[in-house]
């Protein structure tokens, strides 16, 4: 098998890269180790930045998102039993976010690739990359019991944090920056009407809580928890009692409760691998960097990476230009580190740290008070949350 760009991983990064390259007349093959059904059913992120939404529309995969996604013009920060609205659109010259689940984006991208005759190999096992230091790299994998080799001109490592591509870069040629947080998020899906028209990020002495949504009938909510906890320790009544306690306001607000149909625990870390390139291998998305979910940046950063990468790969494969490929890592890392800072800042402001240090608590409340009363500070939150312009 032979193609121009071999892409490892059919997450948002890999699928979108394949679609963007196709629009430039560049061929790619996507190798994914899970099944189509599995990737289309994995519950993850839900908030799309303005730039992500604009891009999906511009490349013809935004139709269902426009019909079924919900545009939100603000968010609420809740602390001390009171809500404070951040008017995202007013603060950013009309920008907004769209709540549309990641697995729906995946379904739309898979459908678009297959409709255009794209090649996605699902259930590809034992994927490994070779020859990235030379000019004829390749990807080996197993499929339907056979060993296969895909010869390529360039390889994109879009295989997420636990993938194989990052470790194909020799340890001496990369630097990794990590921060692991001493808490996680307990995520639920509940069959209930929305509790709020906009997302609610809550700071509370019992821990952070977030009210999000998926549809008029299905709601997504998160609670700060011990990252090593087990969902089996959380019967529905314990979850609702915790949400009621953390989200309570002085005027008696309470969430709409319903049957909980999904529970999972998400560990939280900040991570960056530099550089994003080694020879003919280019990392994008979670394969290269992780943010804690508090700023809703993970999926959006993956999109921003591949937008830069698709242009650089196109310039190389069409015109033999090296300059954009040479700049890819530096260009993408500027946005990555901005998002790393924003996600760390939101996380630090909103969560309880072990020991409940009263000094830290006062600092958090001072920061929340400032963000919700100063227009410049609120603008900082808003412009990062809706997403800085794509380069
Ligand atoms: P991924 O979506 O991880 O895609 C990588 C793909 O590569 C996967 O399909 C995987 O199966 C495949 N793969 C892995 N290894 C191999 C291999 N060896 N060979 C072939 N294929 C391979 N972000 C938010 O903003 N909000 C959230 O609430 C949120 N929740 C999350 C919950 C979980 C459990 C996780 C893991 C992440 C969450 N994120 C969240 C982050 C966000 O979902 C990611 O940033 C986003 O998925 C990144 O996209 P990606 O394409 O880079 O990687
Ligand atoms: C969702 C996830 C996030 O990480 C976030 O900050 C807001 C919403 C969600 O899954 O809906």
d(CA 339, CA 344): 8
The pLDDT tens digits for 240-256 are: 999 999 999 999 999 99
Predicted confidence band at 194 (pLDDT cuts at 50, 70, 90)?
Answer: very high
d(CA 31, CA 9): 6
Q: Is 207 exposed, middle or buried (0-12, 13-18, 19+ CB in 10 A)?
A: buried
Q: Does residue 385 have an active-site annotation? A: yes
Q: Which one of 72, 95, 203, 278 is the catalytic residue?
A: 72
Buried b (16+ CB within 10 A) or exposed e, 281-319: bbbbbbbbbbbbbbbbbbbbbbbbbbbbbbbbbbbbbee
Residue at token pair 């290269």: 288
Task: Find the mean pLDDT for residues 264-288.
Answer: 98
d(CA 57, CA 39): 22
Atom of ligand 1 nearest to the CA of 298: 45
Angle at 218 between CA 212 and CA 222, to 5 degrees: 35
- The whole-number pLDDT of residue 71 equals 98
Centroid of ligand 1 to alpha carbon of 244 (angstroms): 30
Ligand nearest to the CA of 294: 2
Task: Find the mean pLDDT for residues 174-185.
Answer: 98
d(CA 198, CA 269): 26
Contact 15, 30 (CB under 8 A): yes
């Amino acid at each position: 098998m032979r193609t121009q760009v071999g892409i490892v991983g059919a997450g948002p990064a890999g699928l979108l890269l394949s679609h963007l390259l196709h629009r430039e007349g560049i061929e790619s093959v996507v190798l994914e180790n899970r099944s189509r059904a599995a990737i289309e059913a994995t519950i993850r992120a839900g908030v799309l930045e303005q730039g992500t939404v604009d891009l999906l529309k511009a490349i013809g995969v935004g139709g269902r998102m426009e019909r079924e996604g919900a545009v939100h013009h603000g968010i609420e920060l809740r602390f001390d039993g009171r809500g404070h609205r951040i008017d995202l659109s007013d603060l950013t010259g009309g920008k907004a976010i769209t709540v549309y689940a990641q697995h729906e984006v995946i379904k739309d991208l898979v459908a678009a690739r297959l409709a255009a005759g794209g090649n996605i190999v699902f259930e590809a096992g034992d994927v490994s990359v070779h020859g990235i230091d030379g000019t004829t790299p390749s990807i080996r994998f197993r499929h339907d019991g056979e060993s296969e080799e895909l010869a390529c001109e360039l390889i994109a490592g879009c295989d997420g944090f636990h993938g194989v591509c990052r470790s194909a870069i020799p340890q001496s040629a990369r630097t990794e920056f990590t921060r692991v947080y001493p808490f996680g998020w307990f995520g639920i899906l509940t069959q209930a009407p929305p509790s709020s028209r906009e997302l609610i990020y809550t700071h509370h002495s019992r821990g952070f809580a977030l009210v999000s949504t998926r549809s008029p009938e299905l709601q997504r909510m998160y609670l700060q928890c011990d990252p090593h906890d087990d969902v089996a320790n959380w019967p529905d009544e314990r979850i609702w009692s915790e949400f009621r306690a953390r989200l309570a306001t002085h005027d008696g607000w309470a969430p709409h409760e319903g049957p909980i149909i999904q529970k999972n625990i998400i560990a939280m870390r900040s991570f960056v691998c530099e550089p994003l390139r080694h020879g003919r291998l280019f990392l994008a998305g979670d394969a290269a960097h992780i943010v804690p979910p508090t700023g809703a940046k993970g999926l959006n950063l993956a999109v921003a990476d591949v937008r830069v990468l698709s242009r650089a790969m196109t310039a190389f494969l069409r015109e033999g230009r090296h300059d954009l490929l040479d700049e890819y890592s530096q260009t993408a890392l500027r946005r990555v580190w901005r998002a790393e800072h924003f996600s760390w800042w939101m996380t630090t402001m909103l969560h309880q740290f072990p020991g409940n240090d009263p000094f830290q608590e006062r600092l958090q409340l001072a920061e929340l008070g400032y963000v919700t009363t100063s227009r410049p500070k609120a603008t900082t939150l808003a412009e990062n949350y809706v997403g800085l312009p794509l380069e």
